[in-house]
Structure 1
């Protein structure tokens, strides 16, 4: 699963997901996939981002298309530089897992000026007129599903919760905002700090959090890798903090089964990457596909582990 935005982020995807590109009924169109080169600009190196790239490269290979990949490592300036490099290579289309929605505006403008279609994964801005399409995750709803589990577990009792976010400015903001906005009034957020999608950093944050708030009962952690760091910190402090998190990786599901995590929200990186390539090729050829496609998300607990989708190609 694996992996930061606010008001300008596209969270109304559910309302417009039925929009389709105009054109032929066939996905074949006029461009042979074997002549297509896709530039993929990834946003970071978390398990989500690694699995996303695997899925994109695998699906492109199956379709006969070529992929050139670059990683921005959570740096908006590097993202723009990577896109400029892809433009200089004259790729057929760009697939972008953005670092930051504000940077995304410049990215889209650069691609548009070069007449290179841009396709987004995970998140997009509210104005979709200048992009080819997108595969999105309703990240606010992801956070809300975790908050819903806590609401049910707390059952009206007063409780303290902490938030270990990712890197500020992109998907993490949506995840955390969706979580805090959906919590019931009886659950108070007493700490909210970024773990930067890094396990060691998240462990440090969790250690400080439990020292400052020894009565902490719940923790929302913005991905499973960080959640393992948080779990280690809480265990070392002798505290039974119930962790809810995000991704649905094999390790994450095993942690839910073992009781290390109370719940996770599965949003398959494999599904996102595969559909991104399929829809990019279809829309390039003026075929029929949803311009804005939504990936299914699901709250996973011990009771429904078998329902989690495959997260990553092995």
Structure 2
């Protein structure tokens, strides 16, 4: 009888220990699941074009900080095509992303893509260029108006009032083109003779051809503001081929532009720090997904880079 009782108590003890062990194991699994849920997100990033060094650097910054934060980052290249960007966003939505980062090809046209994400309950953050419609939780960018003013003020310093000036504009409809142009004009309006202002779509080859046409129509141009460095570099090729000495100021401070500044062939560029923009975009996205408050506009510092 005693043996039976002893055996009974041993069995009970084993069952209790087994239950405790299972509870502990389940708790560990729950904790691991919580950590995965809180620390790992799938974020889609639609970039206007990866055929531009500025956006390549921006995406590299986003990739680096994604690894640090355990983010599964899916980057898609819209190839400067607003229709492709809308299609890319639909694909990202179907992949079950937690948040959409978008660098619009066209600030107006991107509204439908933003609204699609809104309808799917996916928060949206715009990067470098804003969206004219749809709900956005934050916008990460440099102050492009201020950057345009920096360029205009330095151009005036170099050529003085009354100089004949031209401007190469970015993609029509993009907020970056609008804002940089607005800031530049605010600085120079009524002080210079703006003989020509035409779009070259943030593209180097188009910057070359548009600058060639400008020089044929206005051979006495003294200075050019290009709303990004790719167009500025194209303009420099046209200016060199024409054998002219013209002040050229760009925007973005890409590596190629900085080399031209060091060589004295380009006057200056407004540094927009694309890697920092990419990093800030991911950091802001993770904060939002973790339930923290984020600012509607998160600015990234600008500076004018010129030959020392």
TM-score, normalised to structure 1's length?
0.82
8 Å Cα contact 1:31/1:285 also seen in 2: no
Q: Is residue 2:67 matched to residue 1:61?
A: yes
Secondary structure at the aligned position of 1:101 is classed as coil
1:1-314 equivalent positions in 2, closer than 5 A: 31-34=37-40, 36-45=41-50, 46-125=52-131, 130-156=135-161, 158-170=162-174, 171-303=176-308
Note closer, same or farther for the CA distance 1:204–1:117 as it changes in structure 2 (3 Å cut): same
Hey, which bits of structure 1, 4+ residues long, moved more than 4 A?
A: 28-31, 125-128
Provide, for residues 156-183 of structure 1, a one-character-per-residue CA deviation record: whole Å limited to 9, x for no partner: 3x21111112221102232223212321
Provide, for residues 19-60 of structure 1, a one-character-per-residue CA deviation record: whole Å limited to 9, x for no partner: xxxxxxxxx9994222x1110101112111211111111211
**Using the alignment, how far apart are the partners of 1:29 and 1:214 within structure 2?**
65
- Say what the alpha-carbon RMSD is for the aligned residues: 2.0
More helix by share: 2
Aligned length: 273
5+ long unaligned stretches in structure 2: 1-33
**What's the CA shift for 1:258?**
1.5
Provide, for residues 43-90 of structure 1, a one-character-per-residue CA deviation record: whole Å limited to 9, x for no partner: 112111211111111211121111111111222221111111111111
Q: Greater relative contact order: 1 or 2 (C-alpha under 8 angstroms, separation 6 or more)? A: 1
8 Å Cα contact 2:211/2:239 also seen in 1: yes
**What's the CA shift for 1:114?**
0.3
Rg bigger for which structure?
2
**Using the alignment, how far apart are the partners of 1:173 and 1:29 within structure 2?**
43
**Using the alignment, how far apart are the partners of 1:77 and 1:63 within structure 2?**
31
**What's the CA shift for 1:205?**
1.1
Secondary structure at the aligned position of 1:216 is classed as coil
Secondary structure at the aligned position of 1:102 is classed as coil
8 Å Cα contact 2:106/2:171 also seen in 1: no
Secondary structure at the aligned position of 1:32 is classed as helix
